[in-house]
Amino acid sequence: MANPEEIEESSDEIVKKMMFVMRKAPHGTINPYEGLEVMLIVAAYDQDLSAVFLDDGVYAIKKGQDPKEIGVKDFSTTFRVLPGYGIEKIYVEKESLENRGLTVEDLLLEVEVVDKSEVTKLMQEQDVLFPF
Amino acid sequence: MANPEEIEESSDEIVKKMMFVMRKAPHGTINPYEGLEVMLIVAAYDQDLSAVFLDDGVYAIKKGQDPKEIGVKDFSTTFRVLPGYGIEKIYVEKESLENRGLTVEDLLLEVEVVDKSEVTKLMQEQDVLFPF
Amino acid sequence: MLFTVNKSPFLFGHLDSCLQYAIKDTPILLIEDGVYAASKGTSYEKKLKEALGKFEIYALGPDLKARGIASVIDGVKIVDYAGFVDLAEKHNVAPWI
Amino acid sequence: MLFTVNKSPFLFGHLDSCLQYAIKDTPILLIEDGVYAASKGTSYEKKLKEALGKFEIYALGPDLKARGIASVIDGVKIVDYAGFVDLAEKHNVAPWI
Amino acid sequence: MGVKLKFGILILEGPYQHQSSDSAYNFAIAALEKGHEVSGVFLYNDGVNNATSFGDPPQDDRNVQEKWSKLAQEKGIDIVVCIAAGKRRGLIDDNLIKGTRISGLGQLTDLAISTDRLVTFGD
Amino acid sequence: MGVKLKFGILILEGPYQHQSSDSAYNFAIAALEKGHEVSGVFLYNDGVNNATSFGDPPQDDRNVQEKWSKLAQEKGIDIVVCIAAGKRRGLIDDNLIKGTRISGLGQLTDLAISTDRLVTFGD
């Protein structure tokens, strides 16, 4: 975390480390969708962005989602645009994936699999954490 | 459950067994409060009413609640009026109470402590279950 | 009686709680995020299989499809909304929300 | 970093999850229904005491009072909203919602 | 099919944030398609937000509020917004979708008494 | 106290149904009382419902929406309703409490960039 006084003085060129902490399953609540919407907007600013999917959040980027029959729009494939939008650091927590019987092959986009201690380390480095 | 055809024909004198299944903690969400509001209204109709508090629902009738400092109105003591309103069958699930380190002494009103199999049995007898 | 459970079993104790109140003739219907419990190969599979030995467990097909759950644990019965209505026709509904 | 947890530990796995990501210098602040975890004599007490051996755990006093929790597990530090702000002043906040 | 039943539906959550109101809607449609009666839908807690006429979701997504409004108008289903829950949350006559009405918890009681099944959807 | 910080607050849940907005409000007040700046409050997801002007809760309970409106007007705090989340849920210019404004997610980004801490309250 940068010293607040420094931030104040250089507000024109601030580049912050911001991480999206995605912990919630899709469709039961709108969280993964609204989190994605924030990512797509924040990506337009020149910030140092990353996203980590853990707990039920890994389900948000699971392949094969088709919510037509529940009357809901599919947005999952939009996660694929993230790297193109400049959000290239995309992490998935290992045990969250394993507990759900999933592998990286089941995911919609390329991710880096990390363990919990690495997630904590990454989170500690952030200036802003967006929980969705 | 009464035979639907019978209900149709005797709708003037229907007395249904209705149970409030209170499973949620107070103040974090409005559920126990809105459940209580329904109880107070339904009590004005001549139905066969009961309430069971289980899981975090037992916290709804815990003594000593004082939500002034969180800016929320206290409603917990209103549960005390239930027997006077004709809701006399008030059950609490034993293990839910024990797991939370509570005894009947900690509760705002007199209840009958029952175990899970008794809760299931009571639920099976109902015509309507209101979950809050 | 029919229990409905709409939460993921990984972060929410709703299904665990429900299973403690279930008896032989009270089927359980997994809906919304509850259907994740019916997914094959998860850390919850063992618990669900034990439950399947004792109770009828249903999962809502449209919710499975929405979440891309292609492999469902053997013994879980998949129903559509019409099947949900059929279950609610036969049983009074106890939503374990 | 400061973790905040606002769910009861009995039905929600949020605190269990949070504890797996906590490290020595990341205090945990229990707020809203999260404060039930700080209550003495519950089935969660053992887990919380183990966590207390490793991390600093705080509970929001106004939320304890709201819920009538008079006995708090030894070692849990009680703070008011001003104390919450102090913690957020010292640490970046990771809401484990 | 078996006997024709009367269903009552209670919704405790608002649209979009939770799937509850979508599930309730899909259940109602399926019940009607099977020849049952849906005697009424009662909106309580955040469920009242299903009845706002000010909703305007993206064109490519569903419009939950409009779906309820059409269901009420086309199938004659009585959709009731709890007055107390609605007042708290800003759901009043001025922003009420067509086909719904505001009333008290007595209507929920009537629904519970007069139907064969009350099915609740919430979070 | 230590250094004066700038706080940004993000709220993801509506009033009454969850305690989140009460907690956020109490946090904001405490931050101000300690001499910090609250640079802005961003209402997203069901959080937009905190800004309805149609709310009219029972006299003996708190009025969450009014509390936010007063905070905005009396302390000059910028409270922003997400336009997309608001449109979905029926929170538009016609039912917006005084002191708040509707804008896009860019405002949330600005808040995240310009403040020392972004604190999120949700369910």
- Cross-chain CB nearest to C17 (options D11, D14, D17): D11
Q: Residue A8's pLDDT is what?
A: 46
Q: Residue A38's pLDDT is what?
A: 98
Contacts of D26 in chain A (CB under 8 A): 120, 124
- Cross-chain CB nearest to F45 (options A16, A18, A34): A34
Strand partners, C60: C79
Residue B112: pLDDT over 50: yes
- Identify the CATH class of B15-131: alpha beta
Chains A and B physically touch (3 or more Cβ atom pairs below 8 Å): no
pLDDT band at B13 (very low <50, low <70, confident <90, very high): confident
Helix axes E64-75, E20-33, angle to 10 degrees: 30
The residue among A50, A131, C28 whose CA lies nearest residue D14 is A131
From E81, E82, E108, E118, active-site residue: E82
Distance between terminal CA atoms of chain A? 21
pTM of the predicted protein model? 0.96
Average pLDDT, chain E: 97
- In angstroms, the CA E13 to CA B131 distance is 13
Asked if the C-beta of F31 comes within 8 angstroms of chain D's C-beta atoms, the answer is yes
CATH number of F6-55+62-121: 3.40.1260.10
Distance, CA of D31 to chain centre: 7
In the block, tokens 């299973």 appear at C19
| Count, residues in chain C | 97
Per-domain boundaries in chain D: 2-95
Q: Comparing B9 with C78, which gets the higher pLDDT?
A: C78
Average pLDDT, chain C: 97
Any chains having at least 3 CB pairs less than 8 A from chain E are A, B, C, F
Average pLDDT, chain F: 97
Signed CA dihedral, B110, B114, B119, B122: sign only: negative
Please give the interface size between A and C, counted as residue pairs whose CB atoms are below 8 Å apart: 69
Asked if the C-beta of F23 comes within 8 angstroms of chain D's C-beta atoms, the answer is yes
In DSSP notation, E23-85 reads: HHHHHHHHHHHTT-EEEEEEE-GGGGGGGBTT----TTS--HHHHHHHHHHHH--EEEEEHHH
Per residue in F27-58, pLDDT tens?
999 999 999 999 999 999 999 999 999 999 99
**What percentage of chain F has pLDDT greater than the value 70?**
98
Q: Judge contact between D78 and D67, C-beta under 8 A.
A: no
Contacts of E118 in chain C (CB under 8 A): 93
pLDDT band at B6 (very low <50, low <70, confident <90, very high): very low
Per residue in E37-62, pLDDT tens?
999 999 999 999 999 999 999 999 99
Q: Residue F75's pLDDT is what?
A: 97
**CB C77: neighbour CB atoms within 10 A?**
16
Strand partners, E10: E42, E120
- In angstroms, the CA E26 to CA C63 distance is 11
Which of A123, A127, A132 has the highest number of chain D CBs within 10 A, making it the mutation to test binding with D? A123
- Chain F residues 42-81 within an 8 A CB cutoff of chain B: 60-62, 67
Per residue in F78-108, pLDDT tens?
999 999 999 999 999 999 999 999 999 999 9
In DSSP notation, D15-79 reads: HHHHHHH--TT--EEE-GGGGGGGBTTSTTHHHHHHHHTTS-EEEEHHHHHHTT---B-TTPEEE
**What percentage of chain E has pLDDT greater than the value 90?**
98
User: Contact D1/A116, CB-based, under 8 Å?
Assistant: no
Contacts of A31 in chain F (CB under 8 A): 12, 45
What tokens does B100 get?
Answer: 């939370």
pLDDT band at E2 (very low <50, low <70, confident <90, very high): low
Contacts of A29 in chain C (CB under 8 A): 33
pLDDT band at B4 (very low <50, low <70, confident <90, very high): very low
Which of A29, A41, A129 has the highest number of chain F CBs within 10 A, making it the mutation to test binding with F? A41
- In angstroms, the CA A96 to CA D24 distance is 22
Per residue in A60-87, pLDDT tens?
999 999 999 999 999 999 999 999 999 9
Residue B3: pLDDT over 70: no
- In angstroms, the CA F88 to CA B89 distance is 43
Q: Residue A1's pLDDT is what?
A: 44
Q: Residue C25's pLDDT is what?
A: 86
Per-domain boundaries in chain E: 6-55+62-121
Q: Which fold has domain D2-95?
A: Hypothetical Protein Ychn; Chain: A, (3.40.1260)
The ranges of chain A with pLDDT < 70 are 1-12
Residue B2: pLDDT over 50: no
pLDDT by residue for chain D (97 residues), tens only, comes to 999 999 999 999 999 999 999 999 899 999 999 999 999 999 999 999 999 999 999 999 999 999 999 999 999 999 999 999 999 999 999 999 9
What tokens does D48 get?
Answer: 């919380």
Per-residue pLDDT, averaged over C4-19, amounts to 98
ipTM: 0.95
Q: Judge contact between B24 and B58, C-beta under 8 A.
A: no
The one-letter amino acid at A98: E
Q: Residue A126's pLDDT is what?
A: 98
Residue B89's φ and ψ, nearest 5 degrees, are -85, 95
The residue among B124, B19, E75, E7 whose CA lies nearest residue C89 is E7
Q: Judge contact between B89 and B107, C-beta under 8 A.
A: no
User: Contact A72/E25, CB-based, under 8 Å?
Assistant: no
Q: Residue F2's pLDDT is what?
A: 66
pLDDT band at B25 (very low <50, low <70, confident <90, very high): very high
User: Contact E18/A71, CB-based, under 8 Å?
Assistant: no
Sheet holding E6-11, edge to edge: E100-103, E78-82, E37-43, E6-11, E117-121
Residue B35: pLDDT over 90: yes
Contacts of D41 in chain B (CB under 8 A): 101
- Chain A residues 13-52 within an 8 A CB cutoff of chain C: 23, 25-29
Q: Residue B5's pLDDT is what?
A: 45
**Chain E: which residues have CB within 8 Å of chain F?**
14-17, 45-46, 49, 52-58, 61, 65, 84, 87-92, 94-95
**What percentage of chain F has pLDDT greater than the value 90?**
98
Q: Residue A2's pLDDT is what?
A: 46
